[in-house]
Each structure stands twice: as C-alpha cells, then as structure tokens.
Amino acid sequence: MHGRLKVRTSEEQAEAKRRDKEKKVKWYRQTTTKIFNKRALGEKDDELLKLTGEVLLENSDLSTMWIIRREIIEIRLPTLSDDVTEFCQNELALLERCLRSNPKAYCIWVHRQWIMDHTPNPNWDQEKRLCDLFLSYDERNFHCWDYRRYVVKKAQISVDEEFAFSTEKIATNFSNYSAWHYRSKLLPLVHPSTNEEGNIDSDAMQREYELVQNAFYTDPSDQSAWFYHKWLLGRGKKSLAIGCGLIQREHTTCVHVAFNQPVLPTAKHPIVVLVNNTPVIQVTKSDWPKSLWSCDLLISDRENVSIKVKLEEISFELTLKEGEKEVWFINDVESIFQVMLTSASPEILTSELIMCRELLQLEPDNKWCLLSTLQLLEAIDPMLHHVEILNLFDKLVSTDPYRKGYYLDLRSRHAIGFILREHLMNFDPTRPLDLSDKGLTHLDYTEYMIMHKHINLRSNQIRSESLQGLVNFKSVQTLILDNNSLKEIPPSLNELTVLSSLSLDNNDIRNMESFSLLKGMRSLKKISIRGNPVCEIHNFVDLMKTYFINIENVEF
Amino acid sequence: IIMGTPVKDVQLPDNPAIKSLLLDKHASYVEAFEKNKDDYDYCMTEFLRISGIYWGLTAMDLMGQLHRMNKDEVLEFVQSCRHPSGGFSPAPNHDPHLLYTLSAVQILVLYDKLEILDVDSVVKFVTELQRPDGSFTGDKWGEVDTRFSFCAVATLALLNRLDAVNIDIIVKFILSCMNFDGGFGVTPGSESHAGQIYCCVGALAITGRLYEVKADQLGWWLSERQLPSGGLNGRPEKLPDVCYSWWVLASLSIIGRIHWIDKTKLTEFILACQDEETGGFSDRPGDWVDPFHTLFGLAGLSLMGNKEVKPVNPVFCLPQDVMDRIGLQCKLLK
C-alpha cells in the first residue's frame, strides 16, 4: 500500500503479470479454504503448519495465520524433548524470512515475541543480533527498536550498556532520531541527580550539551539534535502562586482569583474561600484545569469583611471595607510570564546562548538556531531582550513561512506578556491597556486582564477562536476591537457586565445575527460599527436599539 | 561546518490535470473497488477487509455519494464478521480484533444500523482486553499498542458505553507513552509517531482529558512534519505521505493548532497525489492508489475547510453530520 511506484509496462508484460496474479489468487483461495476447514475440524497437525507457512511466505500480513500457528505450537511444544530447540529455530527462521521482505509488519514481530516468550531455551544473544541486523537495514524501524527493548529487558542488559549503544548509534549518524529518543529515556536512569529526584546529574548534562553541540556543528539542519537540545533545556516546573485577584461588589460579591498556571482542584487539594476566616466555599473537583477561578458570595456590604482564597500552601487575603465596591490585588507578576520553564542553570543558559549566537554567524538563516536563540533569550530575560526576541520572530516568519502560524502565536504571547507585565508591575486600572497594532494572532494572558477598565485591541489579526478570552475582561468599560477582520461579534462579549463602550470599526461584520446574540446587554451605551458591511442593512440602527435597551449612541 | 544532509522529500509533478479535486473520479474508483474481488491486491488485503470497507464508505459519504454503495451487501458482510466473543474480524474465518471491531461499529454508525449489534457482547469483548495497567491488547494474544487504547474508547463512545471502563487508568497508561518531544509512541518507551499521536490525542479527547497534552510542544512537533513539498511526514526524516494529512492534521485540529501548518501548500500536495487515470489518491505522487489514502486525502482536505467535501470529525474520522445524528461530542482544545 505504501511506496509502490506506478511503472508503465508493455502489453505483453502486463498480460503475463495478469495471468500470474490470477494463478496466485486461485492458489491463495484454495489454500486458505483448506486451512480454515482444517482449523474448524481441530486438525492442528504438520500439514496445517506447512500450509500456513506457505501462505505466510506469500503474505506475511495475515495475522490469523500466525495465530493458527500459535494454536498448533502451544500444544506441540510441551510434547517435544530434544527436538524442541530445532523446532523453535525453524519457526524463528520462518519469521526472519518474512521480516526481511516485510520488516514493518506488526504481526510478525508479535509472533516472534510470542515464540521467545514460550521457547524453553531462549537465545537472547541471537535476538540482539537480529535487532542489530534489522537496525542496520533501517535504523528508524520502530518495530525493531521496540523489540530490542523487549530483548534488553528479558536478557537483563544494563541501562549503562544501552546508553552506550545509543551513543554509538548517534556517533554513526547524528540524524538518528530514534537513538536520541531512546537516549532521552535512558539518561535520567543512567545519570540521576543525587540531590533532586527525577532530575539529571549536572556533569552528565554538561556532556549532553557537548554532544548536541557536536551534532549542530556537523550538520546545523539536522533536526534530531535540536529537538533533543530543547528537551535538555526544558523540564522545568513553575511553582504555584497567585498572580492577581479582584473582588467586585454589585448585587453579589464576586471573587476572582488568577493563579500563575492552570490548576485542577481535587478533594485532597481543594480551592477554599473563607469569609472572616470561616470556609464558605470549597471547590473539590473540576472537569478542566484553569488559571482563573470565580465565585459569588452573598455578603452584606454594611461592614468590613475579610475574604481569603486558599489552595495548598498558598493564599491571598483581602479586606473589603464597608460600602467598598471593588478591591484588587497583584501578587507574583514575574512567574505569570515565565514560559520557558528550564531546569538549566543561568550559567548553562548563557553558555548555550553564546554557542547559538556563534552558530548564527555561520548560518544566519538556520531556523532551528534562530528558534533556540529566541527561547534562550526568553528563559534568560524576556523583558531585557524584548526587541531582539521580536526581531527573531520576524526572521523566523520570513525564513520558515510554513510555520508562520506557530511563530505568530508565540510572538503574540511574548508581545502581550511584555506590555502586560509592565502594566501589572505599576498597576493603575484606569490606565488603558494598549495592545493595538502588535501583530497579535492569539489573545494570551486574559486571566490577568480582569482588572483593566480600558482595553485596546485595534489593528491585529486575532483569530475568532482566540477571542474566547474576552470573557475574562471582568472590569472592562471601554473595549476597542477595530480592524481585526472580525466576521462576527464575539459572543463572549455577552458576559461583560460593565462594558459601556464598544468599538468594532473596520471589521467584516455582515449581518445582524451577531448582534442578536448580545441582546439584553444593559451596560452598553455606545457602539461604533463604522466600515462594516452590516451598516448597509437599512434598518440596522433600529434593530440595534431593540437589542441594547440602554444604548444612547450608534456610530456607523 | 562540514556537510548538510539533504532533506528527504518529494518533488511535486507539474500536472495541470490534477490541480483540482477530481471528485467524480474518486467516487467511481471507490465504487468499483469492492466489485473487483478477484484482483490480487484486493485478495491479499483480506486481513483488513472490514477496515477497507469503512475507509471506502466514509470516503463516499464525505463526497456525498454513500448511496452508490451496496448497503445490504455491506451489512451482511459485517454480520459475517461477528465472532462469538463479541468482537469482529476483518473478514469471515479470520480472528476478531479491536481494530476490526471499531471498523465494524463505525460502519454501522454510518448506516445508522447500530441496532443490529448485541452491544453488551461488544462491550464485553472490549473490556476483557484491558490490562491492569490500563493498556489494551488487540486480542487475547497480548499485543499492547496505544492504537488499541483508541479503538477501545472510540468503540465504547460510539456505543455510549464509556461507563464500562475506568477512565483514569486508561489515561494513566496513555500518558506513560508520552515522550521527550510531547508526542506518543506504541508503548511506554516507544518513539513518537504521528499515527500513535492521533490515537492518543483522540483517546484523550474522548475521555475528556485533553488538558494533559503538552499542546504547544506537540503542536510544534506536528507542524515540523510539513516538508518543502507541502506534504506531511509521520516523524522526522521520513518521506511525506497523504495519510499523514489525516494523522497529523486531525491531531493538530483536536489540539486547536491546525493553523500551525501551511494549508495552501498541503492542499497542493494532497491534490498532487490524485491519479487522474484511475481516480483515487496514493501515498505520494506517482504511486499506486488505494482506498486508505483516498479517504485520508479527502478527510485532510475536509479538515482544512474544503467546501467540496463534507465536514469530517477529527476524533472519529466520520462525517460530522453522522456524529451530530448520534449526538456524540468531545470538547477539543482551542
């Protein structure tokens, strides 16, 4: 089915082939009918072994034939004495013949494993040699790699030996992704860190960095080493912290808490909300982890009240004074924006950066190197290296256009992070959050925009799926979405209870359906919809006025 | 810097005949395929026959041509593949297996004929193949593969019987097959492969645990499957193949990152895999066609929004209107 080139043949050749195939089909049908009949009659004899062997040599993908052989062999084996080894060797020889012409058939490797599980005198050296042989034919044959792992386990070969094997395979060919993959499993077992559980010894890490560097310098476009490099630099964890919080009081007291990462509460680790130190709400489960959690409390506003939110060992506590309508707080800003979670030390990050920069001098258009440099800068100091990071993203988009969607989404996250981080460090909720004209394709970090009253997203290319995040604009009064090629109004706007001014100029909104989804928004007083095809609909202003009961001003 | 290894890829032929989607030819190809039962290749693929039927029927339905297939003959065939254990074999006299049980259920869902099933016996067959570590074997002979985890949960989901298994342990096993690159392999320790990734990501979607996927990491790895020709491979340093337009693209779609590959270029590649003489799609331009690649070429185009074919569901690889009819939805990532 795969890799069969359509070659033109002469009439004669085609006819000869046709007759030959016809004969084969006839033979196949006769033989398989005979096999199934014998099986049905329980004739688990030599003839059945012979027939299934013949069919399998013609078509080794027929897994039922291998099964029939197993049914015969499992009865036969206990009856054999001296001849048992020869019998098994014959079966292994048949298997090897089939593997040579069909090395990627699951059922053949499965049968071989079954034989090795059942043979009384397994020869694991022989199996290891078979694996070496088949990996020499195709070093990426994952069936063979998986079978090799089985053999290694059975033969109790040490992880050190296997680690050396992976080194050898990589030395022969840096482009052996299968070997690098295997290495990623062995490294933590062979060189565990003495002080940190699950981590890798630092000297060993240093040798790994040298190994990948060798690979890059030999062939900078060999991707295997770059994937491995990314893994070496990663494997970091973000400690749980609260990013920011907001308490809004209208009819109810609404508490919003944004953690620095998505959390999934459990019965053992619930999110607890306490009012004046008394637990009132416990969230013990959720279908989906998320960063932003909200709940409604019924509290009198006639007195001071303390509200505390707790998860594991972290908590925040706020006091809402009598009559106070809104209180917010900002806690750990920096950890919100950590994207490059690295376990590498600052020294390693710096030396890797130097190495990448040197390589970029030689290969300025190498996208692997550009991306690694970018990620190292993000890990080291994304604020300080902001301009260079943006330039690297732009270079990546031009040198590797197929992955433009990926680069632009990551670039959006970085651009938003840069602005929002500075905002939160010196927070003033009345200061507009200006994200206009930043080339945004994706709206990130909206959980940390819960307190902003004015948000400007003009002139971007934010995808409609990404606009789900708008529901998190809990405090927004003025929202500008001009010039985003929007085909419809994001339905999530419906949830914004204090939105009073909405601008949607120069988008591509064509019909009133979008607006009808927002019916009943009481807070909306002003809407600007200039430069949208929907303006052509002759009574659209009247319709708008029926949807938004408090609307005062429609600009079109 | 010494050498550079050439990128393994194909050259797209410059053939104006296949620059557009030849739906009529593909429909004729699939319709005729089942009729040529004496063909050598047809005969030799008996070991997957029922899956072949599922591929053909789904391709026809995506093209709006399901009515051209012989429904009665198909249903009779499916019945003939039913095994006393509750599972289905690929063809009469062959042994039952999870792969073919899923195909049987998918065919019955397409034809809205689930009622002919003894659902309890199918559920029993599936659940008895689960091991204590949460993995599934394909049949009683013990082969473990994350493909079978997908077959198991997809079969149960289509029968509305996910209640029959412990989801947590199934997910635990799948996650134990996650690798350094965010991808998934056949078993714990196996290398990442787009086909296995589709199965694991699909299974996590069905069990409501997609949040366990390292979406950015995996999405990037998947986007790197796109080669200069526009085609997608299944893992690094491999040739592109139209079936990866499904495994890779569906995975990206499920994790909300289908826009991380270049759709125009992939479309060009898929169309170049059409055969204007015989109809059907092949794995890469110039090779022989088959129903497997025909389905996945069409399904890939559908996922990218091609309006000439019906929308396809990225988890179950069935037309979306069929999924809507049975009311089965999975929350996907955005």
Interface predicted TM-score (ipTM): 0.96
Candidates B5, B44, B89; nearest CB to A219: B5
Distance from CA of B21 to the nearest CA of A (A): 20
Does the beta carbon of A287 lie under 8 angstroms from any beta carbon of chain B? yes
Cα–Cα distance, A152 to A436 (Å, whole number): 58
Q: Are B323 and B317 in contact (CB under 8 A)?
A: no
Which residue among B190, B226, B236 places its CB closest to the CB of A177?
B236
Which residues 85-114 of chain B have a CB within 8 Å of chain A?
89, 93-95, 97
Cα gap A462→A440, rounded to integer Å: 6
Amino acid at A379: A
- Helix segments in A9-104, DSSP class H: 11-40, 46-58, 63-76, 84-101
pLDDT at position B325 is: 97
Those residues whose C-beta lies under 8 Å from the C-beta of residue A334, and which sit 6 or more positions away, are A421
Helix axes A223-233, A202-218, angle to 10 degrees: 150
- Residue showing tokens 């790895």: B221
Q: Please tell me if residue B145 touches chain A, with a CB cutoff of 8 Å.
A: yes
* B168 and chain A in contact, CB less than 8 A: no
| pLDDT score of B1 | 37
Residues of A in contact with B40 (CB under 8 A): 21-22, 24-25
Whether the CB of A21 is below 8 Å from some CB of chain B: the reply is yes
CB contact under 8 A, B189 and A149: yes
Residues 6+ away with beta carbon under 8 Å from A70:
A111, A114, B141
**Which residues of chain B have a CB within 8 Å of the CB of A468?**
334
C-beta atoms of A140 and B238 within 8 A: yes
Chain A residues whose CB is inside 8 A of the B142 CB are 110, 114
DSSP category for residue A282: E
Number of Cα atoms under 13 Å in the Cβ half of residue A97: 14
Alpha-carbon distance of B103 to B50, in angstroms, equals 6
Residue A220 and residue B7: Cβ atoms within 8 Å? Answer: no
Q: Comparing C-alpha atoms, which of A426, A460, A431 is closest to residue A444? A: A460
- Nearest Cα neighbor of A130 from A147, A108, A115, A118 is A147
B211 vs A21: CB contact, 8 Å cut-off? no
10-residue stretch averages of pLDDT, chain B, 334 residues long: 67 90 98 92 96 98 98 98 98 98 98 98 98 98 98 98 97 98 98 98 98 97 97 96 95 98 98 96 95 98 98 98 96 92
Q: Which of residues 112-141 of B touch A (CB under 8 A)?
A: 139, 141
Query: Can you read off the two tokens belonging to residue A370?
Result: 């550009």
How many CB atoms neighbour CB A78 within 10 A? 10
Are the beta carbons of B3 and A219 separated by less than 8 Å?
Answer: yes
Residue A244's closest CA among A354, A311, A172, A332? A332
Closest alpha carbon within chain A to B38: A25
| Whether B287 contacts chain A with CB within 8 A | yes
SS3 content of chain A, % helix, strand, coil (to 5): 50, 15, 35
Give the pLDDT confidence score for residue B5 in this predicted structure: 61
pLDDT for B2 equals: 39
A7 pLDDT above the threshold of 80: no
Answer yes or no: do B292 and A61 touch at CB < 8 A.
Answer: no
pLDDT in tens, A331-387: 989 989 988 788 888 999 999 999 999 999 999 999 999 999 999 999 999 999 999
Q: What are phi and psi of A296, to 5 degrees?
A: -105, 130
Q: How confident is the model at residue A175 (pLDDT cuts 50, 70, 90)?
A: confident
Closest Cβ opposite residue A2 in set B39, B256, B283:
B283
**CB < 8 Å & 24+ apart, contacts of A515-518:** A515/A489, A515/A543, A515/A544, A515/A547, A516/A547, A517/A489, A517/A491, A518/A489, A518/A491, A518/A493, A518/A494, A518/A547, A518/A548
The sheet carrying A501-503 orders its strands as A433-434, A454-456, A478-480, A501-503, A526-528, A553-555
**Which site among B11, B41, B139, B141 would you substitute to test the A interface, given the most A Cβ atoms closer than 10 Å to its Cβ?**
B141
- Tell me the nearest-neighbour CA distance from B55 into chain A, angstroms: 14
pLDDT of residue A143: 98
Q: Is A110 on the interface with B (CB under 8 A)?
A: yes
Is A5 close to B286, i.e. CB distance below 8 A?
yes
CA B209 – CA B186 distance, rounded (Å): 19
Closest by Cα among B250, B235, B228 to B185: B235
Q: Is the Cβ of A397 closer than 8 Å to some Cβ of chain B?
A: no
- pTM of this prediction? 0.96
Q: Name, in order, each residue with C-beta under 8 angstroms of A161's C-beta and a sequence gap of 6 or more.
A: none
Question: Phi/psi of residue A140, each to 5°?
Answer: -110, 10
Reported as a single tens digit per residue, the pLDDT across B244-302 is 989 999 999 999 999 999 999 999 999 999 999 999 999 999 999 999 999 999 999 99
What's the pLDDT score for residue B247? 97
Q: Once rounded to an integer, what is the mean pLDDT over residues A427-447?
A: 96
Paired strand residues for A5:
B287
Q: Which residues of A touch B84 (CB under 8 A)?
A: none
Asked if residue A443 has pLDDT above 90, the reply is: yes
